[in-house]
């Protein structure tokens, strides 16, 4: 039987309960220790981990600023060898210390990631290699995704997503059409890593956001080329439908909450913009839809209704006293609060 991983808080709770049973004579000390031994505490961000991570960041920045300040005095060959030596040195040390000092080894790999990224930019400068800045971030992301797979590290996965955000959004400023590369290669790879890591919440949120961001840029790039009227409305409408689909799509339990909330956020934001494009029927229909979601227990929909009220509050200056808008909004929120409290008393539950 393997050790089940639980959080430190859960482990402390179990330990207190087993101590209580031991004091009551229900279980012996040996039985308590045997049961506790069935669990293992997950690798939380302990003080040592935080200390080593900050140390890794400072060490990486220190090395980089030292090299940068003396960069012009060094020969090209020395520069190149220095980058390679630092990169290999910290990663080899990390691999060697992996078993004996796993947290220290991990911090060395973090330093390696920073040196790898800085090395890309410095080598480009050194050999006058002219590529777009976003391509440099893509190369950096390629390196980190392999280290992420090797270490099974959630934070490196988050950092990889951040690098890809810069890469993809930088493409639009450079008028590039390289979005398929991110869609075809990276997103499936990131979702495979998510599955291997058992769908951690924050990386799942960022990777989904990256996928939505990629789709939005893809639509913004290619829909105007179809020479259709109101291309902006078409893009917003497609994203609005996508948001509704995401809010209801059946997915694995590990991803369900994250994807559903992001779906609500997406259709909420796009609906606010679409209220400027369509007549009053759209906001009214959407408002009814939001009420339906609230009846189903969606707390996110209350936030969207507040945003919708605020959007019309800004337009109400000439024909509706602003105080009346506040009164209507306040009554609605109190009504929602009463509804949810009543649901809880009846044993209902909220799904967000």
pLDDT score recorded for residue 98: 76
CA 226 to chain centre: 32
* The pLDDT of residue 32: 81
Instruction: Give me the chain's average pLDDT, please.
Output: 78
d(CA 26, CA 233): 68
Element holding 40 (H helix, E strand): strand 39-41
Q: How far apart are CA 30 and CA 273, in angstroms?
A: 64
Which pLDDT does position 245 carry in this prediction?
Answer: 92
Query: Average pLDDT of 100-126?
Result: 81
Are 296 and 351 within 8 A, CB to CB?
A: yes
Give 184's DSSP letter: I
Whether the predicted pLDDT of 105 surpasses 70: yes
* Residue 42 pLDDT: 63
Burial 1-19 (b: 16+ CB within 10 A, else e): eeeeebeeeebeebeeebe
Per-position b or e across 302-326, b if 16+ CB within 10 A of its CB: bebbeebbebebeeeeeeeeeeebe
Instruction: Tell me what the mean pLDDT of segment 54-70 comes to.
Output: 67
Contact between 149 and 172 under an 8 Å Cβ cutoff? The reply is no
Residue 187 has pLDDT above 60, yes or no: yes
52 or 167, greater pLDDT? 167
Cβ 244 vs Cβ 228: under 8 Å? no
Rounded Cα distance, 291 and 310, in Å:
17
Examine the pLDDT at 78 and tell me if it is beyond 70: yes
**Whether the predicted pLDDT of 102 surpasses 80:** no
Q: What is the pLDDT of residues 189-202, one digit of tens each?
A: 888 888 888 788 88
pLDDT at res. 179: 58
In the predicted structure, residue 301 carries a pLDDT above the cut 70: yes
pLDDT of residue 51: 65
Mean of pLDDT values over 288-315? 79
**pLDDT one-digit tens code per residue, 4-40:** 767 777 777 888 888 888 888 888 877 888 887 777 7
- Mean pLDDT is highest, among 29-33, 270-274, 280-284, for 270-274
Q: Specify the 3-state DSSP secondary structure of 39.
A: strand
Across residues 133-162, what is the average pLDDT? 86
Alpha helices in 47-153 (DSSP H): 47-69, 76-96, 102-126, 133-151
| pLDDT of 180 strictly over 60 | no
- pTM of the full structure: 0.68
Could you tell me which residue, 114 or 330, shows the higher pLDDT?
A: 114
Query: What is the predicted pLDDT for the residue at 221?
Result: 80
Reference 154, options 236, 50, 44; nearest CA is 44
- Measured in degrees and rounded to the nearest 5, phi and psi for residue 4 equal -80, 130
Among 307, 311, 333, 313, residue whose Cα is nearest residue 325: 313
The proportion of the chain whose per-residue pLDDT surpasses 90, expressed as a percent, equals: 4
Say if residue 320's pLDDT is above 70. Answer: no
Burial readout 226-263 (b: 16 or more C-beta within 10 A, e: otherwise): eeeeebebebbeebbebbbebbeeeeeebbeebbbbbb
How high is the pLDDT of residue 79?
76
């Amino acid at each position: 039987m393997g050790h089940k991983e639980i959080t430190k808080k859960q482990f402390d709770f179990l330990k207190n309960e087993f101590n209580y049973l031991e004091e009551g004579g229900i279980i012996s000390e040996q039985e308590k220790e045997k049961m506790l031994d069935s669990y293992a505490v997950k690798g939380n961000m302990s003080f040592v981990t935080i200390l080593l991570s900050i140390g890794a960041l400072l060490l990486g920045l220190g090395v980089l600023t030292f090299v940068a300040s003396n960069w012009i005095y060094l020969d090209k060959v020395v520069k190149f060898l220095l980058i390679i030596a630092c990169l290999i040195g910290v990663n080899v040390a990390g691999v060697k210390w992996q078993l004996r000092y796993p947290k220290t080894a991990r911090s060395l790999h973090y330093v390696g990631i920073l040196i790898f990224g800085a090395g890309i930019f410095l080598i480009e400068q050194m050999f006058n290699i002219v590529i777009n800045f976003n391509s440099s971030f893509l190369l950096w992301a390629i390196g980190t995704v392999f280290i992420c797979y090797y270490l099974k590290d959630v934070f490196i996965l988050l950092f990889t997503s951040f690098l890809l955000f810069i890469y993809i959004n930088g493409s639009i400023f450079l008028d590039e059409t390289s979005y398929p590369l991110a869609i075809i290669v990276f997103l499936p790879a990131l979702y495979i890593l998510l599955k291997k890591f058992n769908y951690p919440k924050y990386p799942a949120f960022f990777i989904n956001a990256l996928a939505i961001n990629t789709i939005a840029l893809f639509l913004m790039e290619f829909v105007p080329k179809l020479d259709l009227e109101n291309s902006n409305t078409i893009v917003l409408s497609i994203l609005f439908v996508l948001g509704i689909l995401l809010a209801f799509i059946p997915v694995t339990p590990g991803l369900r909450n994250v994807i559903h909330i992001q779906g609500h956020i997406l259709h909420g934001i796009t609906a606010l913009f679409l209220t400027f494009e369509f007549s009053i029927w759209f906001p009214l229909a959407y408002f009814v839809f939001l009420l339906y979601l609230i009846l189903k227990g969606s707390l996110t929909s209350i936030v969207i209704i507040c945003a919708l009220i605020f959007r019309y509050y800004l337009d109400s200056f000439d024909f509706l006293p602003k105080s009346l808008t506040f009164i209507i909004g306040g009554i609605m929120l109190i009504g929602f609060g009463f509804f949810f409290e009543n649901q809880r008393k009846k044993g209902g539950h909220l799904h967000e």
